[in-house]
């Protein structure tokens, strides 16, 4: 066991963790934040995407002990109470989800895309989504939602 301290969604949390524990399992089982999903645990689906020190990261690719001292942001931090983030609202309005299993990961990668590319083209969104799989939507509405959120965020900045 190794002591691991993380800042998770703005709160410092310290736990003793088995060295073999994946960060996603630490987040879900030890910290109880089950909004981050596991679709494969082999770095293929993106359901486990979180932000690690501000960068979208598949949390099944990282051991919890490797993340010691890091900042972690999960889907639970994205809405402001009952007020959805513009990207979440856009997923709702543009039908960017069906079963919803991929959605937390899609939102976290979407936020990272908008951080890096404030006004992304369709091609840029599709390219940056290639590590996140969705079995339901065919991606079209996810792309539309990210583009719509980019517009909303830009309008709010004016």
For ligand FES, the binding residues (CB under 6 A) are 38-41, 43-48, 58, 60, 97-103, 134-137
Summarize the chain as % helix, strand, coil (round to 5).
40, 20, 40
Nearer to ligand FES by C-beta: 10 or 97?
97
CA-to-CA dists, residue 67 to 24, 84, 121, 156, angstroms: 11, 28, 33, 34
Nearer to ligand FES by C-beta: 40 or 79?
40
Q: Shortest approach of ligand FES to residue 27 CB, angstroms?
A: 11
HSE-CB for 7 with a 13 A CA cutoff? 8
Q: Shortest approach of ligand FES to residue 158 CB, angstroms?
A: 32
Nearer to ligand FES by C-beta: 6 or 14?
6
Q: Shortest approach of ligand FES to residue 157 CB, angstroms?
A: 29
Q: If you ran DSSP here, which 8-state letter would residue 147 be given?
A: H
**Residue 147 · residue 118 · CB < 8 Å:** no
Q: Shortest approach of ligand FES to residue 102 CB, angstroms?
A: 3
Nearer to ligand FES by C-beta: 2 or 43?
43
């Amino acid at each position: 066991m190794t002591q691991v301290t993380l800042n998770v969604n703005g709160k410092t949390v310290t736990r003793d963790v088995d060295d073999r524990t994946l960060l996603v399992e630490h987040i879900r089982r030890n910290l109880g934040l089950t909004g981050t999903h596991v679709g494969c645990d082999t770095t293929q689906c993106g359901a486990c995407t979180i932000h690690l020190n501000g960068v979208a990261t598949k949390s099944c690719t990282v051991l919890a002990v490797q993340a010691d001292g890091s900042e972690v942001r999960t889907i639970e931090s994205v809405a402001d109470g009952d007020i959805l983030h513009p990207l979440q609202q856009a997923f709702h309005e543009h039908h960017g989800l069906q079963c919803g299993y991929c959605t937390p990961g899609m939102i976290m990668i979407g936020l990272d895309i908008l951080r890096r590319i404030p006004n992304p083209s369709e091609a840029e969104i599709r390219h940056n989504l290639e590590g996140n799989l969705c079995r339901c939507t065919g991606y079209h509405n996810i792309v539309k939602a990210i583009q719509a959120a980019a517009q909303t965020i830009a309008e709010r900045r004016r």
